[in-house]
Every structure is written in structure tokens, then in C-alpha cells.
Amino acid sequence: MADGQSDPLTYRSRMRPGLLVLALVTAACGASPREGANVPTAAPSSEVAVSPPGLPSAELAASPAPTSAPSASVESPRVQFSATPFPLVASSLRVAPIDDEAGAVAGTGLLNYLESLDRFRETGATDRTQLYLEGRFGDAVFAGLRASATPAKRKFALGSFKVDRLLVKPWGVRAVVEVTATILDKAEGGIEPDQSETGRLRMVGDKPFVVDGWDSANRRWFNGPQALTPEALRSDVTQPLVNLLHSETWIPGSALETAFGAGGDTPYFRARHEYLNKLDRAATPTRTFADVIATIERYETFNEIRDGVATVRLNGTVVTTDSSGRTARAPFERRAVVLIGNWMPEVVDEQITGATWLSGGDLALGVRDHNFA
């Protein structure tokens, strides 16, 4: 990373003809462009202005306001993005040994997937958007579910599965699990015989969930890697940057934001708390940001998935009012590292003044890059 940061970085059908389409797509799971995407392209784009939501995320939750009087509402800073192209550094995930834990979490992910198909089928399979599977595969699953509908109520079940490959990120967090699974489609009450199909599934995340499957006719994954555009990456990093500045923004009577959300502690979090505690709200009753421009300087990602870390430069103006009512405007420049991983995008390091990073060089990605739901 820039400025001294270290680099983080075959189907066998035994089903009746009416269920054949469903069988082929049941063994394949739709890849979401967000979750299963590949490397973004850093082509120039028009400047993007994002109006940030007013509420902080789980990263920085506002502490409860005093019950004696309501807190004043402070508007979140507005962040605009530069269209400057940025370099991409893509590396491959690491192949890891397949252990019992990988098998257990893969099994849970498969069961969750089948339960989602059951819930969708119970709706009557009329609304494609409720399937929550995108792209080519999502279309195929939707068509298969509709084509295979029968008068008898049916329920999916996991027959058996084997983990074929496990890929992890450099900091050891699970990223991709590929399995061969046999899926059963059972008619309740024994009205019709069970149907079964075996195929390859692709799952992502530290709590793996199905995102793609093998298209045997074309000998490829149904969706395959999807490109992440520069606009999409800028959109992903917007809210954590807004939250970052919002936690340092106040007006008389506004709540003090000090509490971090889910997940483990890190050197950056501790240093960030120290920095916030040193800001003197008594001497400076008002502190806001203006004319904030964000420029992505670098994105480090992977060949197989779109997760990664972005280094972003922030330029703008700090507007303060002192206790006597005098207003001052001062330019600022700082940098932040934003993790896009298993949880919501979040800032994991920051360079506020000079060349010193608050983390001290330890991004603790193995601590933060988890699904905390």
C-alpha cells in the first residue's frame, strides 16, 4: 500500500423431465456482482457527488443524548469524488487446507441457500427480485423454479456434499469455498418421489453463502467474475468516509460520538479514540467540514473476488467557531484506508497529520474482516 503501508494483500440427473431445468440451476447459485465480482477497471469517469445519509453506521454509533433535553442535529459532511484514475493491484487468494471447520461452515451455507429457495418457492415464484440471485444464474434459477412447479408442496434438502477447494485471504479469513453437492427435492407426504441432482457450487465469505454454480453445458461458472466499475468502488467507500468526518463534526448541543460498533478492537481503533478525545469541544463549540474532495489513490484486490482495501486521500476545509464567536477556515489533507470485505465497508486506518498512520502498520484485517451479523 502507499505511504509505507504493507501490502494486505458435472451434473448427473435422475429427475423427471419436468424438473430437469430446476435440477441444473439448483446445483448452481447466482453470483452477485457485489459479492462475486472480479477486479474493477480504473477508467476515468465523471465526477460523482454523493449526498450522504445523516445517520452514522455501526462503525461510529452516536452515544445516547441526555434525557433532560434533545440533542441538536448536525448535518453529515458532503463528500465529492475526484474522477482521477487509480491503480489496481490484484493478487490471487491462497489455497488453504480443507479442515472440519471449513466443512461445517460450508454445510451451514448450503442449508441456508436451500431454505432461501424454499421461502421463495412458497411465494409462488412470481417476483424475480425476491430471489436475491443476480445475473445469468439468477435468471436460470428463477426460470427453473417456475418450470418445475407441481401441485404437491416440495422442500429442498441437502443430500451430501464435499468441499473441493478452500481459498483464503492473506490475513487468513475464508474467501471462497467450492463444493460438489447433491441436492434433494422432496414432495411432502410422499405424494411424488424424491428428486435429486449433483453439481458444483461456489460460495464466498467467512460465513460462506452460495453465489455461483457450474454451467456444465458451457464448462464455466454461470456468472463468472464481474467487473467492479470505478463508480461502484467510489460508492462503496463513500459512507465510511462520511462517518469518519461526521464523528468529528459538531454544533452546540449535538451528541458526542465515541462508541465503535461490532467486532474486535484494533490498534487503529484505540488511536482513533485517543484522537477524538483530544478534540476540544469547549474551546471550539462548532466544527464542520466543507468542500471535501475524496480521491482514490490505490485499490488492492483479488483476482477471484472484489474484496480489498482502498487508500483514499481527503482534501477540504475545516470550519470552526471559537467560544467568542469567531469563525476560521483551514485547509486539510488526510488519508484513510477503507476495507471492503465481509462486513460493511469501514475505515481501518488513517493518516491525519504527517506520514504517521494511526494503526502503526497493523491493519488487523484478520480481526475486522468478518461477518458480524
Residue pLDDT, tens place only, 190-205: 777 888 889 999 999 9
217 and 343 both lie in a single domain: no
pLDDT digits (tens, 9 = 90+) for 289-330: 999 999 999 999 999 999 999 999 999 999 999 999 999 999
Q: Are 280 and 214 in contact (CB under 8 A)?
A: no
Q: Is residue 3 part of a domain?
A: no
215 and 308 both lie in a single domain: no
Instruction: Report pLDDT for 188.
Output: 82
**Better pLDDT: 52 or 368:** 368
Instruction: Report pLDDT for 225.
Output: 79
**Reported confidence tier of residue 126, pLDDT bands at 50, 70, 90:** confident
294 and 331 both lie in a single domain: yes
Q: Is residue 43 part of a domain?
A: no
153 and 205 both lie in a single domain: yes
Given a cut of 70, is residue 16 above it in pLDDT?
no
Cross-strand bridge partners of residue 331: 317
Instruction: Report pLDDT for 11.
Output: 27
Of 187, 221, 255, which closes a domain? 221
State how many domains the chain has: 2
pLDDT digits (tens, 9 = 90+) for 270-284: 999 999 999 999 999
Name every residue whose Cβ is closer than 8 Å to that of residue 160 and which is 6 or more positions away in sequence: 181, 182
Rounded Cα gap, residues 368 and 252, in angstroms: 33
Computed over every residue of the chain, the mean pLDDT equals 82
Q: Is residue 345 part of a domain?
A: yes
* Alpha carbon distances (Å) from 89 to 7, 21, 86, 216, 304: 9, 40, 10, 32, 13
List the CATH number of the domain containing 117. 3.10.450
Q: Is residue 5 part of a domain?
A: no
**Reported confidence tier of residue 149, pLDDT bands at 50, 70, 90:** confident
User: Taking Cα atoms as reference points, which of 296, 238, 316 lies closest to residue 52?
Assistant: 238
Structural domain of residue 165, as residue ranges?
Answer: 17-36+93-221
275 and 322 both lie in a single domain: yes
For Cα atoms 360, 364, 369, give the angle at the middle one, nearest 5 degrees.
Answer: 150
A 10 A CB-CB count for 338 gives: 26
**Better pLDDT: 39 or 13:** 39
Q: Is residue 42 part of a domain?
A: no
Given a cut of 60, is residue 3 above it in pLDDT?
no
**Reported confidence tier of residue 38, pLDDT bands at 50, 70, 90:** very low
pLDDT digits (tens, 9 = 90+) for 69-119: 556 788 999 999 999 999 999 999 999 999 999 999 999 999 999 999 999
77 and 97 both lie in a single domain: no
pLDDT digits (tens, 9 = 90+) for 159-188: 999 999 999 999 999 999 999 999 999 988
pLDDT digits (tens, 9 = 90+) for 197-240: 899 999 999 999 999 999 999 999 999 877 778 999 999 999 99
